[in-house]
Amino acid sequence: MEHGGLTVKASYTTFDDHVEGSSTDFFNLLLAQSRAAEANGCSSCQRVTQALQNTLTDIGSTLIDVGFRYDFRPYAVWGEYFTNSARESLRSSYQGVVLGGSITHGQWTPYVTFGSQRLKKLNAHRISDADLLNPSVSNSLLPVFNREPLFPSNSARQSWAIGARYDITHNAALKVEMLQVRLQDPARAYPTPFPKLSPPSEPRAKSFGLYTLALDFVF
């Protein structure tokens, strides 16, 4: 929807997917072991069993995105709110917001952005410390659920960026940006969109910077 310099957009998307291929054998084995451990007193294994069943059959998630942009030259401001809600599976549910502003002067457009993403619900497939002592758990493969980064589960982070765009022609622009990211839980952070670049023997940094220089063309 557009009105004057204001543009508003919204989207609602649902996903129905599941695990396929050779990995299903591994998940089916874990599912059988989780059911057996649950029958032998592992209370937290009930959530593991449900998560594995949904992962193998129908993960199911919903993505809602609402955003706006307001241009009042030479200034512009924009914002976006998004939320992802997943069924109990090997995925987390999260929500976030992005805010930004810019000013255009001739061919230059410097800008600044801020983003924040946090967990709404941590995928509850981790086994409690007490249940890890249960022989049905300790003598199986189930402890992998509590080891990182096999199932990274915390994508919460904050970021800010400053950058500038220089319009070379009507269909080409040069962009430079400095992005700073701060992770809430580096040990459980998703590998994307910021993969771990430090050596395997070193822990992932809680804060890091990303510097980009790009030349964009529109055909």
Amino acid 167: pLDDT: 95
Percentage above 90 pLDDT, the chain: 42
Task: Note the pTM of the prediction, 2 decimals.
Answer: 0.71
Q: How large is the average pLDDT for residues 150-163?
A: 78
Burial class (CB in 10 A: 0-12, 13-18, 19+), 13: exposed
Contact between 38 and 46 under an 8 Å Cβ cutoff? The reply is yes
Amino acid 64: pLDDT: 93
Q: Which of residues 105 and 208 earns the better pLDDT score?
A: 105
Q: 10 Å Cβ neighbour count for 137?
A: 28
Amino acid 186: pLDDT: 75
What residue segments make up the domains of the chain, in order of their start? 2-217
pLDDT digit string, tens, across residues 50-85: 888 877 777 677 889 999 999 999 999 999 999 987
Q: 10 Å Cβ neighbour count for 219?
A: 3
- Say which CATH architecture domain 2-217 belongs to: Beta Barrel (2.40)
Mutual angle of helices 23-39 and 45-57, in 10-degree steps: 150
Closest CA to 202 of 183, 181, 186, 189: 186
Amino acid 55: pLDDT: 77
Q: How large is the average pLDDT for residues 108-115?
A: 97
Mean pLDDT, the chain, rounded, equals: 84
Band (pLDDT 50/70/90 cuts) for residue 105 is very high
Residue 149 has pLDDT above 60, yes or no: no
Residue 153 has pLDDT above 70, yes or no: no
Q: Residue 74: is the preceding peptide bond cis (ω within 30°)?
A: yes
Phi, psi of 8, deg, nearest 5: -125, 135
Contact between 163 and 216 under an 8 Å Cβ cutoff? The reply is no
Per-residue burial over 99-131, b = 16 or more CB atoms within 10 Å of its CB, e = otherwise: ebebebeeeebebebebebebeeebebbbeeeb
Residue 88 has pLDDT above 70, yes or no: no
Residue 137, H or E segment:
helix 135-138
Residue 187 has pLDDT above 90, yes or no: no
Band (pLDDT 50/70/90 cuts) for residue 194 is low
Amino acid 75: pLDDT: 96
Amino acid identity for residue 171 in this structure: N
Q: How large is the average pLDDT for residues 174-201?
A: 77
